[in-house]
Amino acid sequence: MKDNVKVGLLGLGTVGTGVVKMIQQHQDQLVHQVGCAVSIEKILVRNLDKPRDIDLDSRFLTTDPYEVVNNPEIDLVVEVMGGIDETRQYIIDALQAKKHVVTANKDLMALYGSELQKVAADHGCDLFYEASVAGGIPIIKGLADGLASDRIQTIMGIVNGTTNYILTKMNKDGLSYEAALKEAQELGFAEADPTADVEGLDAARKMAILARLAFSMDIDLEDVSVSGISQVSKEDLKYGSTLGYTMKLIGYADQEESRAEVSVQPTFLSHNHPLASVNDEYNAVYVYGEAVGETMFYGPGAGSLPTATSIVSDVVAVVKNMRLGVNGRSVFQPQYEKQLKKADERFAKYFIRLHMRDEIGAFSELTKLFSTYSISFEKILQLPLDEKEAAEIVIVTHKASLENYRSVLEKMKDLDVVKSVESFYRVEGDGAK
């Protein structure tokens, strides 16, 4: 039995610094939990001379990644450097060198998670990635361990704090999208280039990871249909609120009869939905299991210490497995062949806002189109526009297939009575009665 497990870090940014601080400051607790010391052996950095908010001797630092990856003293590699292709190779090399790996890299796990899990299994190593989704929220362990005996049917997640902050400010304070984004950038919640967040790619990567684990299928990033929030307007939110809905960027994964669908899109949630009250930069993941029913995981989705907490929890899990001699046995392997729902098998309610000619028979033409595709109306708002002989129509449909919904959107462009389709979104829940 080892009396000191040695850790190497790839990266010493905000999260890496949090990991080092936790290992240094929580040593008594770590020894109590795992029965041995856990210490930092070597850390990869870009600049050896950079001032750092941490008490660390320079002999622990290196600019050569292979002083970590190939170091015979190191038992476990923590990857917090980000990046994809180069980082993927470092992790493969570490696993092939019989080193366990803990990563916070959602981009890498979304794209190459299945490959890396196989390499880990082939070499008897652990590969844990709790911090790759929702920061400090233990959703990966929740699915892999806490709900392992259940059959997960649906996951809905607010898994991007940037977009949730922006939509909260638009909803609560009446800010425009542009103003809310600027405020998020000033506060450090959004990057200078926010594209990955606001266009839904960051959330899509996380949903691919969650769906792969929850449904035990090899879900790829390309299987996730994605749209972002950059086109959401204050008018959309106003009408949604009138009808009893709150807008969130929702990652959605569902399976029925071993056929799955995964998406990320702006979604109107009924005000009484558990996710509707999750505001600002917070994350939450709603899970519906066949046996357990509804559960929800809530907490900070990012930040140095919340994310570091998840990473160090994975470190503890690795060390416990080392003490028991069971490393590599919990590596995820998909149980089922991937089968994705077709468009005629995916059902939802939809919000559609359009401008129409305000004339006799106009609404009848619209109704006829929807009826042709077996889509009925649950709620309707009609409001006059400043433009002469024009009206704004807001519709919430009953559940309809994605195939028929897309057909209606396309055919509406050909109706003379429809001046423009302003916006359209998925709807979850019943809204105001």
Look up residue 342 and give its DSSP letter.
P
Query: Which ranges in 74-227 belong to alpha helices (H)?
Result: 85-96, 106-122, 139-141, 161-173, 177-186, 195-198, 201-215
- Asked whether the beta carbons of 288 and 273 are under 8 A apart, the reply is no
Distance CA 167, CA 264 (A): 15
CA distance 222 to 158: 20
Task: Please give the positions annotated as active site.
Answer: 206
- Secondary structure of residue 58 in the 3-state scheme: helix
Most distant CA atoms of the chain, gap in Å = 84
Residue 311 has which token pair?
């990473």
Q: How far apart are CA 18 and CA 20, in angstroms?
A: 6
Sign of CA dihedral 273, 275, 276, 278: positive
Helix, strand, coil % over all residues of the chain, rounded to 5: 40, 25, 35
Closest to 429 (Cα-Cα) out of 284, 263, 240, 299: 240
> Residue 413: in which H helix or E strand, if any?
none
In our burial notation (b when 16+ CB lie closer than 10 A, e otherwise), range 83-102 reads eeeebbebbbbbbebebbbb
Spatial distance between the Cα atoms of 80 and 11, rounded to a whole number of angstroms: 5
Question: Strand 347-357 to strand 418-428: parallel, antiparallel, or no bridges (unpaired)?
Answer: antiparallel
Instruction: Report which DSSP code applies to 265.
Output: E
Alpha-carbon distances, residue 72 vs 38, 68, 124, 252 (angstroms): 16, 9, 17, 43
Residue 365: CB partners within 8 Å, gap ≥ 6? 415, 417
154 forms bridges with which residues in the sheet?
254, 288
Q: One-letter amino acid identity for 314?
A: D
